[in-house]
């Protein structure tokens, strides 16, 4: 709608001798179409011109703005309401929507700005669990959205591949690994390698409770790893590679792609520089033998180095801030990490501030809530009754299985049910993750999310498929959606849909600014619902020759609703289907 608002603002600006730019964003929708199609509140102008808003609204109503697509301006209190010349507006609106072709929704709003997005970032030697879904998919959707809005995006997978925990793991592997045959053959030959590794780790921790000397042994292993000891390095490397390959299988399935995979280990020899800078600036303090930065009264100190000299997750994060800034000179650096790590990021950002780093106020924690699963009639946080983490792959498999059952029930003769069930099932999981604002907790209800009814990904998929079907059929009937110029789109419902579609690029820009994919998902639900209202009242294809022009226009509209839905689903990371 912005193009149209800009034109009205320019006309007002010229007529009243004011700068039109601030007026462009002032418009709103009248509560009732009877009042007009676009409302302009006169409060801002009132301030500038020092006249009452009611008076200004009256003045605007009396002006001739010289816009052929505006048929009438009326004053209603402090508002000037613009009524559109329907034919003219529809024509121009359709042309505008078509102007970016298949790229509809994209813009150049963020051109020249760089966004670093830290997402997924799982720990190696662990499974990708269901709680990783949120960071992974929200982050991927943000990356897609920022790109569509014209920004340069660097998506980073900040792999958890370093830390004293790996000393314990290596120690456990050395002690018990041969019992499971884990040290005898390459990990890649073992399907259960991660599970077995986790088991060893747990066993180590249990035994260390009664045998504190084990901790010293683990520390020694970590030192070996740090010092580049051949065996320690080789085992760590194998675990890292193997984990990454397993992660990749899930990433491929979810359509997730990173620009950079930079693990915490990468910062091993970059931390000393940052620690030296802390020291130099007098920020490093001793506290209970550890080195810390006092970040403030109300938050605990930020730990830089432990008693035994080892560094921490936070130390590596601080080194990563510097590396990202030096490398990409970002405008924003987003950490798509659960809200539970809020304190960590508050500390981290404060330390960056204290260091006087220019990038400090460009760091953002794009926090999200927890995902709860149904366990025995209650909601639990990603764990089964036995306390095992729920694997992301299993959740995807279940969703696909459910989707397949629903699909086959609707249509037993469905072609290629595997591929379709995969897209619907995985898409449903993704959509459920992104439907509400990210900070909200999600109750993950498999039954509900694969349903074609309600506000689900499956419903949007199905709506998209219906558009594709309708257009295919009309093509066989000899219609061409490219032929319609839009002049027949004059009903209220036509206008509502056109106005809704025109917002798409603005919606994408706002979703980028707020790093909030749900702005796109909610928009798509709105478009689908506006179309269903439309469809209930208007016949799209009318074969009577006297209605050929109207049919062409309506098909043109359907075609652009289709593109909007398709592009929107893709932004969220969902694969839109053309048939099911
Ligand atoms: N590996 C961490 C975890 O699993 C998440 C890392 C998030 N990114 C960061 N730069 N701290 O909790």
Question: Is residue 226 lining ligand 1, measured as CB closer than 6 Å?
Answer: no
The mean pLDDT of 261-280, rounded to a whole number, is: 96
3-state secondary structure 403-421: HHHHHHHHCCCCCCHHHHH
Question: Is residue 123 lining ligand 1, measured as CB closer than 6 Å?
Answer: yes
Which is nearest to 366 in space by CA: 109, 121, 108, 162? 121
Residue 380 has pLDDT above 80, yes or no: no
Q: Which residues of 541-576 are buried (b: 16+ CB within 10 A; e: fewer)?
A: beeeeeebebbbbbbbbbbbbbbbbbbbbbbbbbbb
Q: What pLDDT digit, counting tens, does each position of 84-105 carry?
A: 999 999 999 999 999 999 999 9
Question: Is residue 264 lining ligand 1, measured as CB closer than 6 Å?
Answer: no
The mean pLDDT of 59-72, rounded to a whole number, is: 92
Give 156-211 as a DSSP string: EE--B--STHHHHHHHHHHHHGGGGTTTTS-GGG-TTHHHHHHHHHHHHHHHHHH-
Question: Is residue 348 lining ligand 1, measured as CB closer than 6 Å?
Answer: no
SS3 333: strand
Tell me the C-alpha distance between 19 and 396, whole Å.
Answer: 53
Instruction: Indicate which residue's Cα is closest to atom 6 of ligand 1.
Output: 121
Residue 539 has pLDDT above 80, yes or no: yes
Q: What pLDDT digit, counting tens, does each position of 121-177 carry?
A: 999 999 998 889 999 999 999 999 999 999 999 999 999 999 889 999 999 999 998
The mean pLDDT of 244-273, rounded to a whole number, is: 96
Candidates 138, 158, 323, 364: which one to mutate for ligand 1, based on the most atoms within 8 Å of Cβ? Answer: 158
Q: What pLDDT digit, counting tens, does each position of 307-358 carry?
A: 888 899 999 999 999 999 999 999 999 999 999 999 999 999 999 999 999 9
Question: Is residue 157 lining ligand 1, measured as CB closer than 6 Å?
Answer: no
C-beta separation of 168 from 220 below 8 A: no
Residue 182 has pLDDT above 90, yes or no: no
Question: Is residue 121 lining ligand 1, measured as CB closer than 6 Å?
Answer: yes
SS3 301: coil
Tell me the C-alpha distance between 407 and 412, whole Å.
Answer: 8
Question: Is residue 118 lining ligand 1, measured as CB closer than 6 Å?
Answer: yes
- The domains found in the chain, sorted by start residue, are 2-84 (3.30.1360.70), 119-264+328-386 (3.40.50.620), 395-435+447-572 (1.10.730.10)
Ligand 1 centre from 124 Cα, in Å? 11
Ligand 1 centre from 269 Cα, in Å? 19
- Read off the DSSP letter of residue 367: -
Question: Is residue 158 lining ligand 1, measured as CB closer than 6 Å?
Answer: yes
* Alpha carbon separation from 360 to 21, 270, 295, 365, 552 (Å, rounded): 31, 18, 14, 12, 54
Mean pLDDT taken over the chain: 93
Per-residue confidence (pLDDT) for residue 184, from 0 to 100: 80
* Alpha carbon separation from 74 to 53, 175, 291 (Å, rounded): 14, 84, 69
Instruction: Considering only CA atoms, give the Rg of the chain.
Output: 29
Beta carbons within 8 Å of 248's beta carbon, 6+ residues apart = none
Instruction: Indicate which residue's Cα is closest to atom 12 of ligand 1.
Output: 122
Which is nearest to 495 in space by CA: 34, 99, 63? 34
Q: What pLDDT digit, counting tens, does each position of 427-439 carry?
A: 999 999 999 999 9
Tell me the C-alpha distance between 103 and 86, whole Å.
Answer: 26
Per-residue confidence (pLDDT) for residue 208, from 0 to 100: 92
Could you tell me where the DSSP H helices lie in 485-547? 492-502, 504-513, 518-537
Degrees to nearest 5, angle at CA 278 with 276 and 279: 65
Degrees to nearest 5, angle at CA 106 with 26 and 136: 105
- Read off the DSSP letter of residue 391: B
Question: Is residue 135 lining ligand 1, measured as CB closer than 6 Å?
Answer: no
Tell me the C-alpha distance between 234 and 173, whole Å.
Answer: 13
| Ligand 1 atom with the shortest distance to the CA of 345 | 11
């Amino acid at each position: 709608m912005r193009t149209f608002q800009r034109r009205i603002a320019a006309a007002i600006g010229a007529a009243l001798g004011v700068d039109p730019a601030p007026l462009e964003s002032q418009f709103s929708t009248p509560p009732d179409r009877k009042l007009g199609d676009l409302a302009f509140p006169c409060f801002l102008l009132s301030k500038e011109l020092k006249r009452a808003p009611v008076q200004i609204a009256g003045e605007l109503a009396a002006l001739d703005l010289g816009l052929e697509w505006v048929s009438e301006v009326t004053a209603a209190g402090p508002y000037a309401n613009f009524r559109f010349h329907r034919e003219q507006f529809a024509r121009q609106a359709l042309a505008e929507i078509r102007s970016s072709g298949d790229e509809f929704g994209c813009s150049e709003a963020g051109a020249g700005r760089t966004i670093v997005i830290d997402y997924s970032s799982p720990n190696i030697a662990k499974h990708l669990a269901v709680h990783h879904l949120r960071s992974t998919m929200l982050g991927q959707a943000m990356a897609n959205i920022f790109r569509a809005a014209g920004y340069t995006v660097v998506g980073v997978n900040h792999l958890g591949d370093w830390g004293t925990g790996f000393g314990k793991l290596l120690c456990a592997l050395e002690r018990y690994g041969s019992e499971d045959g884990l040290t005898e053959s390459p990990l890649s030959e073992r399907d259960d390698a991660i599970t077995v590794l986790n088991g060893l780790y747990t066993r180590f921790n249990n035994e260390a409770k009664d045998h504190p000397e084990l901790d010293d042994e683990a520390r020694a292993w970590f030192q070996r790893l740090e010092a580049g000891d051949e065996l320690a390095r080789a085992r760590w490397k194998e675990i890292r590679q193997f984990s990454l390959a397993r992660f990749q299988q899930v990433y491929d399935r979810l359509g997730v792609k990173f620009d950079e995979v930079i693990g915490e280990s990468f910062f091993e020899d970059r931390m000393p520089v940052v620690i030296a800078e802390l020291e130099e600036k007098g920020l490093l303090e001793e506290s209970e033998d550890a080195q810390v930065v006092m970040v403030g009264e109300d938050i605990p100190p930020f730990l830089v180095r432990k008693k035994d000299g080892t560094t921490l997750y936070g130390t590596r994060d601080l080194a990563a801030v510097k590396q990202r800034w030096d490398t990409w000179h970002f405008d924003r650096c987003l950490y798509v990490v659960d809200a539970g790590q809020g304190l960590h990021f508050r500390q981290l950002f404060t330390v960056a501030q204290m260091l006087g780093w220019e990038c400090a106020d460009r760091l953002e924690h794009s926090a999200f809530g927890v995902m709860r699963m149904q366990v025995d009639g209650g909601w639990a946080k990603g764990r089964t009754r036995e306390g095992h983490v729920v694997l992301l792959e299993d959740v995807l498999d279940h969703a696909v299985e459910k989707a397949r059952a629903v699909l086959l029930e609707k249509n037993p003769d469905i072609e290629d049910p595997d591929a379709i069930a995969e897209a619907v099932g995985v898409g449903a999981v993704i959509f459920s993750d992104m439907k509400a604002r990210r900070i909200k907790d999600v109750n993950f209800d498999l039954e509900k999310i694969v349903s074609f009814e309600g506000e689900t990904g499956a419903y949007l998929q199905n709506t998209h498929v219906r558009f594709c079907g309708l257009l295919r059929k009309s093509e066989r009937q000899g219609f061409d959606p490219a032929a319609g110029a839009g002049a027949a789109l004059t009903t209220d419902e036509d206008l509502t849909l056109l106005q809704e579609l025109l917002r798409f690029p603005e919606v994408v820009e706002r979703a980028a600014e707020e790093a909030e994919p749900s702005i796109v998902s909610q928009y798509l639900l709105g478009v689908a619902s506006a179309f269903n209202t439309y469809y209930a009242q208007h016949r799209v294809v009318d074969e009577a020759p006297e209605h050929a022009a109207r049919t062409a226009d309506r098909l043109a509209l359907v075609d652009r609703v289709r593109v909007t839905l398709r592009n929107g689903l893709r932004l969220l990371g969902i694969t839109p289907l053309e048939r099911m």
